[in-house]
Amino acid sequence: MAASTSGVYVSVIEDVINKVREEFLNNGPGEDVLKELQGTWEAKTVQAGVVNNPIERSAAKGTPGSGVTPVHDLNVPYEGTEEYETPTAEMLFPPTPLQTPIPATPIPTPLPGTGDNMYNIPTGGSEYSANESGSSNGGVNAELKAGRSGPYMQPPSAWMNQRPPLDVNIAYVEGRDEADRGASHQPPTQDFFQMNSGKRKREDFPAQYQAGGYLPQQDGAGDAAPEIFEIEVSEGSSSIASRAWSEMLTRVRSSTLKIPQLDGPIPDPYDELSTPNIYNYQGAFNEDYNVASTPAPHDIPVSTPAPVVQNDVGDDDDDEPPLNENDDDELDDVDQGDELNTAHLVLAQFDKVTRTKSKWKCTLKDGIMHINNKDILFNKATGEFEF
């Protein structure tokens, strides 16, 4: 049984490697990295005891592959900035590249969800943005939006990463920067601070203007920014009514601002892309109230309800976590107590599950069982349980 499991695993590894080879060769890091992947993967499965050590040819590859690994680790960051950049953005990027090519409006809805998870993790960002926006605007608005500007701050950093793709140092600093937000213990460099200050200014705009302020961000250039910034400041100190009015203003101005923006980046394609990007930014940034924001980002009413909804969400968050946490704890106690330690696990598909009184019957198929440190595969399994 174990032998056949090993055989299946080896064939799966080879199948996967063969089928992603094209991708590795065409757009990716190439054959060497693919071999490294295969080597490490195989080595790990051998180590885990689920693949027999003498893998036909795979065993031969395994050893050199894992030997090569450290060499690549050292070289790659030097050679390719892109490579270094990519993992930096790992946490943040996946949404962004997807967003850019896809102009469809409906997509922002799922994106906020993903963005939400990713951006919420480094909660440190929100404190830090609260300070910023507080210092720049000092209004109630700033406080309300501080929570949002936190998560929102990171997408621009992703853009920042994209812009200086040729400069290793900048990409590297960016990475640290993001890491710092999650857990601020690294004492990075002056570059880091400079980068941040640049970002903060730009990010503050959208935080204030949900609809109007996006265009300047995308440009990333300082040109359009100052104008909006002024508006913002005045807005921050003014009443809600005047805020609505000034948002109107910016919206009007934003249409005129579009022209300089278009000049900045790539002219034609960017023009089309810019609109969805705006929406997406908003999506990532509006996660808390995506319902309101997604359908009509440019409508005036949206901006008004948005903060309200956000407040509600905030209240809910305050109320719910204790309940949820307790629930989880109870479950975890039951589930994890013995389970995760021993970690006997069956992964399968079910065809049918039935119950008669306290007798459960189920038919499973295509399963992988990890029991008593052995992996056992099955095509079919029948279970009879007593509850």
Partner 1 sequence: MATFELYRRSTIGMCLTETLDEMVQSGTLSPDLAIQVLTQFDKSMTEALETQVKSKVTIKGHLHTYRFCDNVWTFILQDALFKNEDSQENVGRVKIVACDSKLLTQ
Q: Which of residues 20-49 bind partner 1 (CB under 8 A)?
A: 20, 23-24, 28-29, 33, 36-37, 40-41, 44-45, 48
CB of 24 to partner 1, least distance (A): 7
The residue (of 6 and 133) whose beta carbon lies closer to partner 1 is: 6
The residue (of 267 and 337) whose beta carbon lies closer to partner 1 is: 337
Give the binding range for partner 1 (CB under 8 A) out of 91-99, 221-229, 255-263, 278-286.
Answer: 91-99
175 Cα distance to chain centroid:
14
CB of 89 to partner 1, least distance (A): 8
Rounded Cα–Cα distance for residues 125 and 146 (Å): 10
The only residue of 268, 318, 333, 384 in contact with partner 1, by rule CB under 8 A: 384
Contacts of 169 (CB under 8 A, 6+ apart): 191
The residue (of 222 and 383) whose beta carbon lies closer to partner 1 is: 383
Q: Does 338 bind partner 1 (CB under 8 A)?
A: yes
Q: Does 380 bind partner 1 (CB under 8 A)?
A: yes
Q: Which letter does DSSP use for residue 265 in this model?
A: S
Q: Does 386 bind partner 1 (CB under 8 A)?
A: yes
Q: Does 219 bind partner 1 (CB under 8 A)?
A: no
Q: Does 180 bind partner 1 (CB under 8 A)?
A: no
Which residues inside 4-23 make contact with partner 1, applying CB under 8 A? Answer: 4, 7-9, 11-13, 15-16, 19-20, 23
Which residues inside 340-379 make contact with partner 1, applying CB under 8 A? Answer: 342, 344-351, 353, 360, 362, 364-372, 374-379
Which residues inside 101-160 make contact with partner 1, applying CB under 8 A? Answer: none
Cβ–Cβ under 8 Å, residues 178 and 121: no
Reduced to 3 states (helix: H, G, I; strand: E, B; else coil), residue 98 is: helix
Q: Which residue carries 């991708």 as its tokens?
A: 23
Residue 149's identity, in one-letter code, is S
Reading the block at residue 244, the tokens are 């609505």
CB of 189 to partner 1, least distance (A): 20
The residue (of 16 and 296) whose beta carbon lies closer to partner 1 is: 16
Q: Does 291 bind partner 1 (CB under 8 A)?
A: no
The residue (of 88 and 310) whose beta carbon lies closer to partner 1 is: 88
Cβ–Cβ under 8 Å, residues 195 and 160: yes
Contacts of 152 (CB under 8 A, 6+ apart): 119, 129, 203, 206, 207, 281, 284, 285
Cβ–Cβ under 8 Å, residues 283 and 115: yes
The residue (of 6 and 254) whose beta carbon lies closer to partner 1 is: 6
Sign of the CA dihedral with 241 first, then 245, 248, and 253 last:
negative
Cβ–Cβ under 8 Å, residues 18 and 64: no
CB of 156 to partner 1, least distance (A): 19
Q: Which letter does DSSP use for residue 289 in this model?
A: G
Helix (H) or strand (E) holding 11: helix 2-26
Q: Does 387 bind partner 1 (CB under 8 A)?
A: yes
Burial class of 45 by CB neighbour count within 10 A (0 to 12, 13 to 18, 19+): buried
The only residue of 52, 59, 86, 311 in contact with partner 1, by rule CB under 8 A: 86
Tell me the β-bridge partners of 377: 368
CA end-to-end distance (rounded Å), the chain: 30
The residue (of 45 and 303) whose beta carbon lies closer to partner 1 is: 45
Q: Report how many residues bind partner 1 under the rule CB under 8 A.
A: 78
Q: Does 162 bind partner 1 (CB under 8 A)?
A: no
The residue (of 267 and 352) whose beta carbon lies closer to partner 1 is: 352
Rounded Cα–Cα distance for residues 138 and 266 (Å): 36
CB of 50 to partner 1, least distance (A): 5
